[in-house]
Structure 1
Amino acid sequence: MSSDLIPVPDPKVPMWRRYAALGIDFLLVGLLCFALSANGLTLLFVFMISWLVCRVVVVSKNQGQSLGHWAFDIRVVDSQFYRTPRLLELAKREVVIGLGAFLFLLGLGNLASGNAAILLLMLPIIIDCGAVLFDTSRHPQTVHDRIGHTIVIGSRRGYSLDVKIRYFIDKVKREMK
């Protein structure tokens, strides 16, 4: 069978949608951590457990979509078989991005005008997510995608939050004229 008879599985996802989906998941887990007023080692424990529940358990039960991915119509799939990744691949992937997100949260929580060095805690997640800028493949991968052998693809299943926001902004612009 010829390879041109096999259709391309799903459309490429713009990077801003991936970052927005990550931001939604980060916001949910971060708010939970701050609501519990955890600090130090307790914060790490609460954050990682919440992160793994949000990004591994929910994704495995919800066809490759976390809440953020569902909001922006994207999903995580195995890079070889284009199916929902197994728990081990998801866990490897999410431990890496989760530690970067935890350091980012720690940096945001301790940011003060006299403590600009804390911005260095944000560097791991910037490097992880910035690696996608140098990947020229059809589905660019971040560092955590490469470790988990996954890719992020578009999906027809979701809330289409970006489309609804764009529609709302266009409607406001029309009414202002």
Structure 2
Amino acid sequence: MSETTTIMPKESYPYRYPRVPIQRRVYAFLLDFFAVWLVSALVGIPIFQFIAFIVGWWGLRVYAVSRYKGQSLGRWAFDVEIINGRRAKLPNIEDLTKRELVLGATALLGMIGLQYGLPNVLTAMILNAPLFANLIIAIGDEEHQQGFHERFVDTVIVPSRRGYSLDIRIRRWVDEISDRMRQ
């Protein structure tokens, strides 16, 4: 007699975490992405650019996050941090590496699409499609806004009290400039 296994639905998290606006998460990702892309673009030979991107991505998104309480450069600039959804603590370095392996691979494809695929718009769109698919998955998850890479290792992005609040500062600067232009 064979025993059938049923797939149980994933347990909900023990806490209800505050949500971070999706645009802040996108801005934080873009800041990290462009910082790593800039450093890797300084390397002239394409294969070394890819290696520099991978090493830079791991350094910024795994090593720095494990060392600086869940924040990378982009997350610090926009007041967000990453935690393990089950334990409500900083994920360990293995979980961060798994998470960033998935997201880093899509970011690398995005970098290739932007750097080498711009003359051919279709190539750039195809290579950036995994990043957009991950964003759509995060937008579609109304409870925790988890993308595929976050579901893979049960991590959650939450607001932080530590950071620079770059988006708020830019909004204030724009408001000040627009007020001065009206006068």
- Residue 46 of structure 2 aligns to a residue whose secondary structure is coil
Instruction: Write the letter of the residue equivalent to 1:61.
Output: R
Task: Tell me, in whole angstroms, the C-alpha distance in 2 between the residues paired with 1:7 and 1:15.
Answer: 20
Of 120, 132, 136, which residue of structure 2 is paired with 1:126? 132
Which structure 1 residue ranges, 5 or more long, are not aligned? 1-5
Task: Tell me, in whole angstroms, the C-alpha distance in 2 between the residues paired with 1:92 and 1:142.
Answer: 14
1:155-170 correspondence to structure 2 within 5 Å: 155-170=160-175
- Residue 162 of structure 2 aligns to a residue whose secondary structure is coil
Of 118, 121, 135, which residue of structure 1 is paired with 2:141? 135
Paired residue for 1:3? none
Task: Tell me, in whole angstroms, the C-alpha distance in 2 between the residues paired with 1:8 and 1:156.
Answer: 18
Paired residue for 1:60? 66
Instruction: Write the letter of the residue equivalent to 1:128.
Output: N
Work out which of the two has the higher radius of gyration on C-alpha atoms and give 1 or 2. Answer: 2
Normalising to structure 1: TM-score of the pair? 0.90
Of 19, 24, 32, which residue of structure 2 is paired with 1:17? 24
Structure 1 residues 12-48: Cα deviation after superposition (integer angstroms, max 9, x where no partner): 10000000000000001000111112303x3322211
What is the RMSD computed on CA atoms of the aligned residues?
Answer: 1.7
1:1-177 correspondence to structure 2 within 5 Å: 11-40=18-47, 42-114=48-120, 116-137=122-143, 139-177=144-182
Task: Tell me, in whole angstroms, the C-alpha distance in 2 between the residues paired with 1:112 and 1:168.
Answer: 32
Task: Tell me, in whole angstroms, the C-alpha distance in 2 between the residues paired with 1:106 and 1:117.
Answer: 10
Percent identity of paired positions between Structure 1 and Structure 2: 33
Residues 7 and 98 of structure 1: CA distance in aligned 2, closer, same or farther (over 3 Å): closer
Contact between 2:102 and 2:149, CA under 8 Å: does it hold in 1? Answer: yes
Which structure 2 residue ranges, 5 or more long, are not aligned? 1-13
